[in-house]
Amino acid sequence: MVFELKDLGPLNYFLGIQITRTNHGLTLTQSKYASDVLHRFNMENSKPTKTPSCPSTRLVPHDGVTLSDPTQYRSMVSALQYLTFTRPDIAFSVHQLCQFMSHPTTTHLKAAKRVLRYLKGTLNFGISFTPGLLTLTAFSDSDWAGDPTDRRSTTGLVVFLGPNSISWSAKKQSTVSRSSTEAEYRALATTAAELSWLRTLFKELHIYLSHILVIWCDNVSAIALSANPVFHSRTKHLEVDYHYTREKVLRKQLQIGFVSGRDNFADIFTKSLSAPLFHAIRSKLLVDSSPISLRGDVENSPAFVKKKPKPTVSVKKKPKYEEEEEY
């Protein structure tokens, strides 16, 4: 079969994602889409916030008055979900909002609008891809019993290909963990499965990764559990599925390393952080107008980025941020 093709030139815009080529590599942003979302919900003139969610605060089901018409809330959250393709910094906030799609309240709507206000001040942020080593490295974290309603933990992970973040996730665990070690171990299993899938994908693309995949974790007990072939009686309640991680370690296909909690990039996917820590981690995942270098054990990992390329679009006027407030 023969098909006619037309060369449209270099890719610049595709499905709401803007692709900018620089001397450093590629930059993917959704500035136009984000602007359209702000205009759709009459938030284009709102004051920006420093973070997408209030630090140390979790949403609960029955806080506030139930919305008589949840259409606006559902449409708003759905639009925010699409933005997480190039904005990992809002992944946890959107993850929280998605849990209340069936019965949203005024408090949930206010939280969604806060994310939009955060986007107002960071419209030009996005994901950058620069040349580097073909090494897969991941960060894993868990917020033990962080949900105040059902006490389930949240798994956060981010995967780097060389210096570039290529995969991230914020997801509530399916069962309640009886200890922080169990919660972290479940997060390790999820991260290990993500790395294995990516390695298989690269193999189908004829890109073979011969190095041992590394996961950085901030829980010493979970790291010891992943490498110890003899399980203590206190860990017998763990499901067999999560022994997957230990099997990978014993086969020398996976290595678990320790990283301090403040240097764990996956922390941004498990909880609402204070503005300084949030901005520090964000600068490692996104194109940021003011890069911040984290220091610590993670500097020796392949995922640590000492230099970030300058953003393609500069913001001349710094927006005024409103004071930190509750949702």
Q: Would residue 326 count as lying in a domain?
A: no
CA–CA separation, 63 vs 109, rounded Å? 11
264 lies in the same domain as 159: yes
88 lies in the same domain as 186: no
Q: Is the pLDDT higher at 238 or at 245? A: 245
154 lies in the same domain as 234: yes
Instruction: Determine how many CB atoms are found less than 10 A away from the CB of residue 309.
Output: 16
163 lies in the same domain as 273: yes
183 lies in the same domain as 44: no
pTM of the full structure: 0.79
Tell me the two tokens of residue 221: 């007990």
211 lies in the same domain as 239: yes
Q: Would residue 179 count as lying in a domain?
A: yes
Q: Please count the structural domains in the chain.
A: 2
Q: Would residue 1 count as lying in a domain?
A: no
262 lies in the same domain as 142: yes
Q: Would residue 319 count as lying in a domain?
A: no
Boundary residue ending a domain (76, 106, 126): 126
122 lies in the same domain as 268: no
Boundary residue ending a domain (67, 91, 126): 126
Checking if the pLDDT of 23 tops 80, the result is: yes
169 lies in the same domain as 278: yes
Range of the domain at 144: 133-300
DSSP string for residues in 250-291: HTTSEEEEE--GGG-GGGGGTS---HHHHHHHHHHHS--SS-
**Looking at residue 262, what is its pLDDT?**
80
204 lies in the same domain as 253: yes
105 lies in the same domain as 40: yes
Nearest to 144 by CA among 218, 245, 240, 60: 218
Q: Is the pLDDT higher at 304 or at 136? A: 136
**Looking at residue 115, what is its pLDDT?**
93
Under 8 Å CB-to-CB from 186, ≥6 apart: which residues? 142, 153, 155, 173, 177, 242
CA–CA separation, 290 vs 54, rounded Å? 22
> Which pLDDT tens digit goes with each residue over 135-167?
899 999 998 887 777 888 899 999 999 888 999
> Which pLDDT tens digit goes with each residue over 51-89?
998 887 788 888 889 999 999 999 999 999 999 999 999
- Min mean pLDDT across 19-23, 180-184, 292-296 is at 292-296
Q: Would residue 279 count as lying in a domain?
A: yes
- Give 315's pLDDT tier (boundaries 50, 70, 90): very low
Under 8 Å CB-to-CB from 276, ≥6 apart: which residues? none
**Looking at residue 327, what is its pLDDT?**
55
In this structure, are residues 157 and 169 in contact, taking their beta carbons and an 8 Å threshold? yes
57 lies in the same domain as 163: no
Boundary residue ending a domain (126, 158, 187): 126
Q: Would residue 75 count as lying in a domain?
A: yes
